[in-house]
Structure 1
Amino acid sequence: MSHVKHFLFCLLLATSVFAQQPSGVWDVLAYGAKGDGKTMDTKAIQTAIDQCHAAGGGRVYLHNGTFLSGTIYLKSNVTLSVEAGATLLGSPKAADYPDQTSEYPTYDEHPLTSKALVYAENCRNISIEGRGTIDGRGDMLDNRGPKDPYMRPSFKYRPRILHIRGCENVLIKGVTLQNSASWVQTYQGCKNMVIDGITVDSRENKDVENPNREHAVKHRNTDGMDLVDCEVVRVSNCFITSGDDGICIKSFSPDKVCRNINITNCHVSSGASGIKIGTETAGRFEDIVIQNCTVFDTWGDGLAIMTVDGARIKRVTISDISLRNIKRAGIFVRLNTRNKKYGTNTTTNKPALLDILIANLQGSRLAALGCSITGLTDYPVENVILRNLNFEFEGGITDVKPTSVPEKADVYPVGTMFGATLPAYGFYVRHVRNITFDQVQLRFVKEDQRPAMVFDDTEDLEIRGFKAQSVVQTPELIRLINTRKTIIADSRPTATVAAFLSVYGDKSSAITLINNQLGQSKQTYFFETPSLKASVKESGTIQ
């Protein structure tokens, strides 16, 4: 071969589609992808990922097109880059999302996994980034399952957009995830993750004012983000609108832990709860911080913390949150014993819910339902601080009848589990040990005759700097039922009320009132029985 021919041959080889390794970029168009939104590009994208991985890693590049695909498998050291203007478009055919076995338990079946558009398991150093769009095409899914009265696709046929399991060093940045057929993105058993600056747009039922939201159109249970048994996670600067829960932290494994999770600077609007720990809670949850977020136009609960399947939840801090237009409980904290098992797991832990700090929250247009913090007699919620809350509720409940609140120890937890309204327009608290309300202000838009707060079976309760609205027909501002070791200080009603405090239950004892301003209370106390008067000590009252 002449020197000239040899040079030309080497030049041709260097510029061929198989010699991209020096640049670190694997362009899917070079591997046969059409990007026309009609031709299936699954094979081309997967080939690029496989060769990138085999070469030691790099970037698989989608640009200048719409790339129709079924399941693609991300691999270690590979970044899937979806450029601005490009779309990875999910196939509308369920058959293009194959099932695969997995070592990780699932929500319902085991070892069958849920389908996904992008799937990764037991990988390291993987990324999905760019300013482009990944469209799950959930509204076009062709298999909706047998005999569903609301035409919702069966769970096993509904692919997620992202399903990342058992991976370490994960980065999801900048992309838009939209129109999922199921949970938008699930991360299970992952460690050291950053999810930053992404947009989720998967709210199929747009009208939050429609009380029949699940049946108005096909409801696909599109959670915005699910973190399952993950550790060392930072979620920041995200905008999430989802058809079901917005951001959820879950556990399927009784021997696993959700730990060191920080959620910050996010905007969440959802068809169910906004930001939630649960419902699936088999393992432990520790050291979780949620801060600087807005939750708005949400059909379910605004902020929810719950253990229902044996989880031990400890050290959760929620601060600097704005809540607006929440259709269930603004705050819902619950410990119960549903005790669901996942996959092949056969054990259930003993539940615990303790060391919770909720501070610096503003809320308006909160549901007339009210907020609740409840445990069980044998498993009380412990060590809760609520500080600097300023809440305005819709109110409007004037037909107030004394009713007992059922325990419902083993049912699915949701803010309305005790009924359409709670005994208090603000907070209903039951089976709790060591709880503090510090500098809390409550009011309502429409006249509401319920007490502002009701406490049942609490011990070591402290209320300081409490201000709450009432009406003349309100029987009492604060109701205590079988409470022990209670301090109420520096508090007052902001309008006329029949009584500042009522005391019920023969277990009530050691109640102390200090420096309260009660000029607008027609009477200070109401006692269920005269003997309960001895349970109260008062000093410094200002009339």
Structure 2
Amino acid sequence: MDSTSRSSVYDPYDYGAKGDGTNLDTKFIQAAIDDCYSKGGGKVYLHSGTFISGTILLKGNITLHIASGTILKASDNLDDFPIMPSNYPSYDGSFVTNKMLIYAEDANNISISGRGTIDGNGDHWVEGPYGFPSMGLRPRIIHLRGCKNVLVQNVTLYNSASWVQSYQSCYNLVVDGVTVDSNPNKDIEKERFAKVKGRNTDGLDLIDCEKVRISNCFISSGDDGICIKSLSPDKVCRDITISNCIVSTNASGIKIGTETAGKITDVLVSNCTVYDTRNEAISLMTVDGAQLERIQFSKISLRNIKGSAIYIRAGERLRSYRKGTKLNTPYLKDIIIENVTGTRISKGYACIVAGTKDFPIENVLIKNINLQFEGGGKAEESFRDIPEKEDKYPNGRIFGVLPAYGFYVRHANNIIFDDMQLKSSLPDERPAFIGEDITDLEIRNFQAQGTANSPELIRLNDVRQVLISGCYPLQPMPVFLSVYGNGSNDIILLNNRLKNTIKNIEINSGNEKFNIEEINTLN
């Protein structure tokens, strides 16, 4: 125990708990919590055993402390996890709690701490009616709603049956030093569910939360790692920092979305490692009317990413999660992604910045990027017609193999790429960069590999007001820049080093007033 006075420490053993890993201890743990709450709060202290439990209702001014070597384990019996009325709407808009091991609602000043383990007993819930996608039938480990001043610290969350930890409409939330070990299909080189079925085991979900700090966490999850969502058009996720975390997942790494209905603003992600990830490593999206702005990712290290390294998407799926609400007019703007390094990035799924014709992405700075892709793409793949698919589930795989190996950018305004190096382990004949339907594009200090069979290093189609400066191909290739589309115009090339190209510019635009200027090229 720590220095907390014994008078404020409540031991479930004193209320009849067995802690023997066999008997159900729910009512004894709950009795300790209720007694602690009735006397103004304190610590409920689980120690020296394995406690089998159904749903525990955590209350205000209480720390649930799970000592080192101690296990709190979910029961095998679904009846031990009742669905109860709630003041907050669930995923489908109904006002119920769903199922979870630890639950709190409108509770202030609560903590879950200790070096012990909370075991979701997830292996029990993957067969019969409980399997994928029946998420509502399987208990989460931690679910907190409408709580203020929350600390979750140092615990290990193991083998969840559903979302590992989810926080909805919480304010002033700190998650620090938490280990999530809930990926039963850890071998990323095998098919996604090679060992067991999927369980929707997101590592950490924030839903319409404010004032949040997530730090020093290790997350290995069977679904998205750290995920920011918004289910209510009139709610907001904001003032969020995510730092010093290590993430490996069977889906996406650090993600905003997929469910995106309200505002998501003022989010800073820094000093994180993402590795062995099935889908995108860094993902930002609005597809259900969400309004995203002022989002920053900085100092991110990537390794063995099977999807896109960077994925920014404005789509129009426009799903509603709340009855009788009006969807917002979406936007995605004011984004900074910088200081990202990565290796073993998937051959098929380039980095993507893709809006729609009606909702272009705006004001994006992508800076100091050093990525090594697996490569192996062929020149003929670079002329694939990519469908819009604005109403589909958003991830980098929906477009198939992309025509660029590095970055594919479409429907965007005011986009800056600065100080970027793109390489591939195997020769890749596709362009390093393709831009389509862009207004105000800058590409500065861009270095990328090409091949003698590559049609060009950079391809622009219907792109206007362009500055390309300080760039050079890392290997000999036929063409530096190709320009297509009647909408292309006002392109300036400045101070580029093009000794490795046979032809600097190839123009395929039908615009009679097409304007391009080349200044101080070093050949």
TM-score range, shorter chain: over 0.9
SS at match of 1:314: strand
Instruction: Spell out the pairing of 1:514-525 with structure 2 (5 A cutoff).
Output: 514-525=494-505
- 2:256 aligned to 277, 289, 292, which one? 277
2:457 aligns with 477
Letter matched to residue 440 of structure 2: D
CA offset at residue 531 of structure 1?
Answer: 5.4
Are 1:52 and 2:36 an aligned pair? yes
Are 1:126 and 2:79 an aligned pair? no
CA shift in 2, pair 1:188/1:529, >3 Å: closer
2:370 aligns with 390
- 1:407 aligned to 378, 388, 399, which one? 388
Cα pair 2:486 2:510 within 8 Å, conserved:
no
Structure 1 residues 150-195: Cα deviation after superposition (integer angstroms, max 9, x where no partner): x436222111000000000000000000100000000000000110
SS at match of 1:459: strand
CA offset at residue 23 of structure 1?
Answer: 2.0
Cα pair 1:466 1:490 within 8 Å, conserved:
yes
Structure 1 residues 421-472: Cα deviation after superposition (integer angstroms, max 9, x where no partner): 1111000000010010000000101111100000000011001110000000
CA offset at residue 127 of structure 1?
Answer: 0.3
Cα pair 2:285 2:314 within 8 Å, conserved:
yes
Cα pair 2:338 2:369 within 8 Å, conserved:
yes
CA shift in 2, pair 1:144/1:168, >3 Å: farther
CA offset at residue 206 of structure 1?
Answer: 1.4
Are 1:214 and 2:198 an aligned pair? no
Distance in structure 2 (CA, Å) of the matches to 1:106 and 1:362: 38
Report the more deviating stretch, 126-135 or 530-539.
530-539
2:141 aligns with 161
- 1:89 aligned to 56, 73, 97, which one? 73
1:287 aligns with 266
Which of 1 and 2 has greater Rg? 1
Are 1:264 and 2:243 an aligned pair? yes
- 2:101 aligned to 106, 110, 117, which one? 117
Cα pair 1:143 1:157 within 8 Å, conserved:
no
2:25 aligns with 41
CA offset at residue 71 of structure 1?
Answer: 0.3
Cα pair 1:94 1:143 within 8 Å, conserved:
no
Distance in structure 2 (CA, Å) of the matches to 1:345 and 1:175: 39
Instruction: Spell out the pairing of 1:364-513 with structure 2 (5 A cutoff).
Output: 364-368=343-347, 369-398=349-378, 400-401=380-381, 402-419=383-400, 421-513=401-493
Letter matched to residue 380 of structure 1: P
TM-score, length-normalised on structure 1? 0.93
Distance in structure 1 (CA, Å) of the matches to 2:278 and 2:514: 45
Structure 1 residues 195-250: Cα deviation after superposition (integer angstroms, max 9, x where no partner): 0001000001111001x213542211100000000000000000000000000000
1:201 aligns with 181
Distance in structure 1 (CA, Å) of the matches to 2:481 and 2:61: 63
1:74 aligns with 58
2:312 aligns with 333
CA shift in 2, pair 1:156/1:109, >3 Å: farther
SS at match of 1:213: coil
- 1:242 aligned to 221, 234, 247, which one? 221
CA offset at residue 142 of structure 1?
Answer: 7.7
Distance in structure 1 (CA, Å) of the matches to 2:473 and 2:379: 21
Structure 2: give runs of 5+ residues left out of the alignment: none
CA shift in 2, pair 1:80/1:123, >3 Å: same
Cα pair 1:26 1:59 within 8 Å, conserved:
yes
CA offset at residue 92 of structure 1?
Answer: 1.5
1:32 aligns with 16
CA shift in 2, pair 1:59/1:228, >3 Å: same
Cα pair 2:488 2:514 within 8 Å, conserved:
no
1:304 aligns with 283
Cα pair 2:379 2:455 within 8 Å, conserved:
no
CA offset at residue 80 of structure 1?
Answer: 0.2
* Cα root mean square deviation, aligned: 1.5
Distance in structure 2 (CA, Å) of the matches to 1:154 and 1:534: 56
CA shift in 2, pair 1:404/1:40, >3 Å: same
Residues matched between the structures, number: 518
Cα pair 2:295 2:336 within 8 Å, conserved:
yes
Distance in structure 2 (CA, Å) of the matches to 1:53 and 1:44: 14
1:103 aligns with 87
CA shift in 2, pair 1:94/1:335, >3 Å: same
2:231 aligns with 252
- Provide runs of 4+ in structure 1 moved above 6 Å: none
Instruction: Spell out the pairing of 1:222-233 with structure 2 (5 A cutoff).
Output: 222-233=201-212
CA offset at residue 536 of structure 1?
Answer: 1.0
Letter matched to residue 432 of structure 1: A
Distance in structure 1 (CA, Å) of the matches to 2:42 and 2:156: 21
SS at match of 1:416: helix
SS at match of 1:405: coil
Distance in structure 1 (CA, Å) of the matches to 2:522 and 2:123: 62
Distance in structure 2 (CA, Å) of the matches to 1:142 and 1:235: 29
CA shift in 2, pair 1:374/1:532, >3 Å: farther
Cα pair 1:145 1:153 within 8 Å, conserved:
no
Distance in structure 1 (CA, Å) of the matches to 2:465 and 2:374: 32
CA offset at residue 529 of structure 1?
Answer: 4.2
Distance in structure 1 (CA, Å) of the matches to 2:367 and 2:62: 45
Cα pair 2:280 2:395 within 8 Å, conserved:
yes
